[in-house]
Structure 1
């Protein structure tokens, strides 16, 4: 008997009721996504998450009481097992960087299609990172010459770059024309060499060292 995919339990956070209603209606069309609650600010999101135990929080950045940036920092301290995907209209490089450094697992601009939003949610829920194309452009368009990372081989640097833009192991294997097992080996070597053991930490490292051309 084929096992059905596990449900992705999601908490939606936005201070606009119309946005929440629209997101909930769209996500309810996805067989593997269950919206288990909504909140209108970061503080309410933290409180509801303690009770509802979501797998992922899809959260706006600009909100009253407690904004998305500060809420993300608290989530990573108080409830680190929950994945955080930010949804925002802001595409300023420093703004996005500050959110990534706060521990967010992904950043999606509000002009993306609903299909891309679902893809981002699934990617983040599976332990990956995701930046919509507009956010990636903002982050990397002004990148200067990357600093040399002598600890990593050329192939490991390639894997780290692909990881930083949110590709899965399978997608990296296809892009780099290597096996998934080889990608996994490279990822483990990168983690060991840099002493960074989370995907979010590796993305932060790649951004701080401007490894994206």
Structure 2
């Protein structure tokens, strides 16, 4: 059996923490190694346990999830942060992405979808729950036509799939190109846009209307 995905759950409501733990403890591929009730505790737990994924609440006392995520990503860039929240609005989502989180989901998400989200971000992709995706794409955003887009059509296609959470292997299959070609496109896109992470690529795609 492969090594389980080690996660830390961060939420200031004990009932919510216990509920998430109950959902995940039956999953053999996922192991909850610690919990925290605010951003400062989360940072301490990450330093102690070095998890694969952190499920991070946004609104908490002492230090909120966005500030904690920024600090975690600065010191432990390999740790994936998946945001949990009750707030489904574009401002929150964009703040989360700018902080370095690689996913965003509502607390009402089903257990099945939560497990899928954890596995997805652990593999290096982004994850946004369905309602969050709708919010991003239906609320007013800056039209792409108003900005100079340096990307080719093929690069736009690759970027769109990256932003939707597809792996390079899946993109290669969907576009009928080689894995190496996809990786080359990804590096070229990062160079052209001067970005350095999958989350930043997704943010660019959203802000420039490439997913419409």
TM-score, length-scaled by structure 1: 0.90
> What's 2:199 paired with?
200
In 2, Cα distance between equivalents of 1:189 and 1:145: 23
In 2, Cα distance between equivalents of 1:149 and 1:170: 29
> What's 1:87 paired with?
84
Q: After superposition, what is the alpha-carbon deviation per residue over 1:110-146, rounded to whole angstroms, capped at 9, x for unaligned?
A: 2221111111111111111111111111111133532
Q: After superposition, what is the alpha-carbon deviation per residue over 1:146-180, rounded to whole angstroms, capped at 9, x for unaligned?
A: 24554211011011112112222243344444444
Cα RMSD after superposing both structures? 1.8
Between 71-80 and 97-106, report the one with greater CA deviation. Answer: 71-80
Between 166-175 and 62-71, report the one with greater CA deviation. Answer: 166-175
Distance 1:16 1:180, change over 3 A: same
Per the alignment, in what secondary structure is the counterpart of residue 62 of structure 1? coil
Per the alignment, in what secondary structure is the counterpart of residue 34 of structure 2? strand
Distance 1:149 1:29, change over 3 A: farther
Runs of 4+ off more than 4 Å: none
Quick one: which of 42, 67, 70 aligns to 2:67? 70
In 1, Cα distance between equivalents of 2:199 and 2:93: 14
In 1, Cα distance between equivalents of 2:93 and 2:15: 24
> What's 2:116 paired with?
119
Residues 160 and 211, structure 2, Cα contact 8 Å, conserved in 1: yes
Quick one: which of 132, 137, 143 aligns to 2:134? 137
Quick one: which of 23, 27, 32 aligns to 1:30? 27
Per the alignment, in what secondary structure is the counterpart of residue 144 of structure 2? coil
Between 65-74 and 197-206, report the one with greater CA deviation. Answer: 197-206
In 1, Cα distance between equivalents of 2:175 and 2:110: 27
In 2, Cα distance between equivalents of 1:191 and 1:149: 16
In 2, Cα distance between equivalents of 1:175 and 1:61: 34
Aligned length: 210
Residues 101-180 of structure 1 aligned to structure 2 (within 5 Å)? 101-142=98-139, 143-147=141-145, 149-180=148-179
Residues 146 and 212, structure 1, Cα contact 8 Å, conserved in 2: no
> What's 1:186 paired with?
185
Between 96-105 and 188-197, report the one with greater CA deviation. Answer: 188-197
In 2, Cα distance between equivalents of 1:9 and 1:97: 26
In 1, Cα distance between equivalents of 2:204 and 2:142: 15
